[in-house]
Structure 1
Amino acid sequence: MTEASVFEGKKAVYFTLGCKLNFAETSTIGRLLKEMGVRTVRAGERADICVVNTCSVTEVADHKCRQAIHKLVRQHPGAFVVVTGCYAQLKPEQVSAIDGVDLVLGAEQKGDILRYLEERLPLLPAERKLADAEHEAYTVPTKDIHTFVPSCSCGDRTRYFLKVQDGCDYYCTYCTIPYARGRSRNGSIASLVRQAEQAASEGGREIVLTGVNIGDFGKTTGESFLDLVKALDRVEGIARYRISSIEPNLLTEEVLAYCAESRAFMPHFHIPLQSGSDEVLKLMRRRYTTNFFAEKISRVKELMPDAFVGVDVIVGTRGETEECFEEAFEFIRSLDVSQLHVFSYSERPGTMALKIEHSVSPEEKHRRSQRLLELSDAKWEAFYRRYIGTEAEVLLERSRTEGVMHGFTANYIRVELPVEGNLDNQIVRVRLGDFNADRSALRATLL
């Protein structure tokens, strides 16, 4: 058993890059360390432990990870620096070579972070360097990543993030995630329900379901995503669930129909499109066509007319000619969606996309990205304007501005509300007004 004396009185700082799943996992690591007597540093303090949870979805992400590590090493001299996450799994030797890094943990090892810290934390810096020379990083090949590390955590936010699935079996040509996180795997419905019940007992009102490919839930337990949704909907105390992201081919008619009539699943979906060109979708090895995607969006809106639908789009992939982009742009413009999340394609070593001819210049990627971002802004504003003057229920969150609270409606409209007293984590009924000063939210008044 890990002894608290190794950790007692220590201070830690946490830095996370990337997706909501990473943030959930970092929060769980923080909770584990807190239970062992480690507290989070306050402003101006030096940490004894630095935990960096990395992303590697693009070359820019790799660069940001290196920058973050260097900055933490400078800010917290002598601290024990642990690096985990996708960048650590994909490039462990590169990460372990960064000056100041003491421990690199891959996808299979990060769930055992307490054990690794217990073994290494008592060592003096010079002794750590000696150990590093013998074994610089702890990772396993992708095929040997099997462990599902549970995570349900709140961190400093009102909503909880429940990890229901990890890994991916899809191997899209542009993506490194299957290599960084391994094959699709998941926790059991019973274990996830227990975590949701624990969140409710702690006062949680909203849970976001996170994972790499959550619609693929059930590969390791013989269950289904629909079964999971139904079971979670029965957990008392949780008023809202949101599905963080789900592949269009896995957002089944049964799941949609259930969510439309459910007690707590919100009319809010995040559905990756990646390209509005069938030719590019085929090069990407995506598992649907533009016709299929358009029909899926139409079905969402038919069952849930008020649903907020966010869509991921990648621009400038290999094979995306000017004609393909224009076709994609017009298709995306035709969709009844609320917001676009636009990413510029980044070439990743080891991916099949590198075999595709025709590359797009950085300048052209930027131009295409700006056009889609402008389209996104227009769709987002049109969606918000549709609800000005209507009534809605909002889950309020802490705000840094005194006398003002923020929150989201069921269909993910961000609201700004003047309040007296503390209504944090409360669901209130409001009337939605016009945009606030910085146009990031709609003003609202309590009813």
Structure 2
Amino acid sequence: MIEEAVDTKSVAFYTLGCKLNFSETSTIARSFKAEGFERKEFDEKADTYVINTCSVTENADKRFKSIVKKAYAQNEDAFIIAIGCYAQLKPEELADVEGVDLVLGATEKFNITDYLNQLSKEEPAVIHSCEINEADFYVGSYSIGDRTRAFLKVQDGCDYKCTYCTIPLARGISRSDTLENVLKNAAEISAKDIKEIVLTGVNIGDYGKGEFGNKRHEHTFLDLVKALDYVDGIERLRISSIEPNLLKNETIDFVAQSRTFVPHFHIPLQSGSNELLGKMRRRYNRELYVDRVKRSKEVMPDCCIGVDVIVGFPGETDDHFLDTFNFLKDLDISYLHVFTYSERDNTLAADMEGVVPMNVRKKRSKMLRGLSVKKRRSFYESQLGKTKTVLWEAENKEGFIQGFTENYVKVKTYWNPNLVNTLQPVTLDQIDEDGIVRIS
């Protein structure tokens, strides 16, 4: 059976979770290509299936089993490999899923091809998983899944101790890529005619901690964005998500006058209640959050601001929730990413009193998602009549081509293949029934 694994020459990938996972999947896929593997789509028959897991919510855990079944249905003799956060946190649980052959932890996943000749379908699933304190080195990565944009990883891990979060347990301490390597990766992306780079990481505002997890600050996040602004060939740079306490005035002001950074911030809030922010062990209060939004809008009036928010955290009363709802309603933001709180093993929040019933969590989540629709509509309406630049994407969606403006307004026009992967100035005309701005 070992010889069969060595001869394996096709591989397919499935990625759950964040942009960071997508960047790492893409890098791992390139390592398979270097070993002579042909890449297949996940719904095609392949000899090896790699599932990059997420464990931010209970739903991501549940999806894993259905994805394994899908792979198994394509080829019962295929090797199925689990990597990612869930694989680090609960390797035995994944190994027990029928069809899974190999589970790799946080450090082992980057050497995945080294393990292939150890596999046999006749054996129980093999686990190679480090203690998370061993994840103290940095592996750079970037995704080049489509022609228009790439996700570039610049940082990994987190030193924060938020009471609801398993990410430090899954990814280890905060550590950063060297500035030299980030610029090298950005240049490689540029050489592939990709127009936009999205910076990713677990806590990218913490960028600058030494390459091997030490606390020597060689460069700051501001140093990083200033250096990236001069990469030839990249038309746009976008900051995926940054903690409010790490989004400094200097960064906001630089983005406002930057050559390539776009006016778009995604700033996690989690709760509009200072009491709950304290219970979550977040490193800011709502007053600082308001200040970051105001500062961004002062220097970039058309800036798009996205917000992460958690509903149903232990101890969240109706008053706490309404406080958050009204806080967001009155804030000059553009859209919300709403997360329904789910208990995670080995977190402090899992043992807190004041558990919110699941039906209440879902009701609150629905209310905030409705608010998000209104916020996005209001933001889009504020942009009508203005001329913005759209980066057009490759997919033909029911006769339309879609893209995003620099400030993240979704736009569509009639399909034209000549527009793909081009930047075009457009005047934002009208909002269609589907909520997307339509260009005539």
Range class of TM-score, shorter chain = over 0.9
Aligned to 1:386: 382
Once structures 1 and 2 are overlaid, which stretch shifts more, 44-53 or 341-350? 44-53
Other-structure match for 1:291: 287
2 CA distance for matches of 1:367 and 1:27?
37
Distance change in 2, residues 1:419/1:71 (3 Å)? closer
Aligned to 2:105: 106
Q: TM-score, normalised by structure 2?
A: 0.94
> 2:165 corresponds to which letter in structure 1?
C
Deviation at 1:111, TM superposition (A): 1.0
The alpha carbon displacement at 1:428 in A equals: 0.8
Unaligned runs of 5+ in 1: none
Q: CA deviation at 1:42?
A: 5.2
- Which of residues 150, 168, 171 in structure 2 aligns to 1:178? 168
Deviation per residue, 1:176-229 (Å, 9 max, x gap): 000000000111000000100111111111000000000001111521111110
Moved more, 145-154 or 195-204: 145-154
Q: Which residue of 2 aligns with 1:38?
A: 37
2:215 maps to none
Deviations along 1:327-362, whole A, 9 cap, x unmatched? 111111111000011010000111011232111001
Whether the aligned pair in 1 keeps the contact of 2:162 and 2:282 (CA below 8 Å) is: yes
2:337 to 321, 341, 351: 341
Post-superposition offset of 1:9 = 7.0
**1:352 matched to 2:342:** no
* Contact 2:43–2:74, Cα closer than 8 Å, also in 1: no
CA contact (8 A) 1:51 1:82 kept: yes
Aligned-pair distance for 1:34?
2.1
Aligned mates of 2:268, 2:417 — CA distance in 1: 40
Paired position in structure 2 for 1:244:
240
Runs of 4+ in 1 over 6 A off after TM superposition: 5-9
Of 357, 369, 373, which aligns to 1:377? 373
1:36 Cα deviation (Å)? 2.4
2:276 aligns with one of 273, 280, 289: 280
Q: How far is 1:7 from its partner?
A: 6.6
- Inter-CA distance 85–124: structure 2 relative to 1 (3 Å threshold): closer
Find the counterpart in structure 1 of residue 177 from structure 2: 187
Deviation at 1:37, TM superposition (A): 2.1
Residue 45 of structure 1 deviates from its aligned partner by: 3.8
Q: Show CA shifts across 1:9-37 (max 9, x none).
A: 72211111111111111111122212322
Q: Which residue pairs with 2:135 in the alignment?
A: 145
1:90-109 Cα deviation digits (max 9, x unpaired): 00011111121111110111
Pairing 1:164–2:154 present: yes
Q: Give the alignment partner of residue 200 of structure 1, picking from 178, 182, 190.
A: 190
Give RMSD over aligned pairs: 1.7
Aligned counterparts of 1:401 and 1:194: Cα–Cα separation in 2 = 34
Q: Structure 1 residue 426 and structure 2 residue 422: aligned?
A: yes
Offset at residue 419 of structure 1 (A): 4.6
Q: Which moved more, 1:92-101 or 1:187-196?
A: 92-101
Tell me the SS of whatever aligns to 2:14: strand
Aligned equivalent of 2:69: 70
Instruction: Report the Cα distance in structure 2 between the residues aligned to 1:7 and 1:260, rounded to whole angstroms.
Output: 52
2:214 is matched with none
Q: CA deviation at 1:436?
A: 2.8
Q: CA deviation at 1:240?
A: 0.2
Matches of 1:167 and 1:8, distance apart in 2: 35
Q: Structure 1 residue 74: deviation in Å?
A: 2.3
**1:167 Cα shift?**
0.4
Residue 388 of structure 1: how far off its partner (Å): 1.8
Secondary structure at the counterpart of residue 278 of structure 2: helix
Q: In the alignment, which residue of structure 2 is the partner of 1:82?
A: 81
CA contact (8 A) 2:12 2:42 kept: no
Q: 1:283 to 1:45 in 2, by over 3 A?
A: closer
Deviations 1:39-78 (A, max 9, x none): 2225874110100000001111111112212221222211
Report the counterpart of residue 15 of structure 2 in structure 1: 16
Name which of 399, 407, 432 aligns with 2:395: 399
Residue in 1 that maps onto 2:145: 155
How high is the sequence identity, in percent, across the aligned residues? 48
Unaligned runs of 5+ residues in structure 2 are 212-217
- CA change 1:194–1:358 in 2 (3 A) is same
Q: Cα distance, 1:435 vs. partner?
A: 2.0
Q: Distance in 2 between matches of 1:216 and 1:50?
A: 34
Query: 1:212 aligned to 2:211?
Result: no
Number of aligned residue pairs: 431
Contact 1:9 1:37 in 2 (8 A): no
- The separation in 1 between residues aligned to 2:238 and 2:43, in whole angstroms, is 36
Letter in 1 for 2:322: E
Deviation at 1:426, TM superposition (A): 0.7
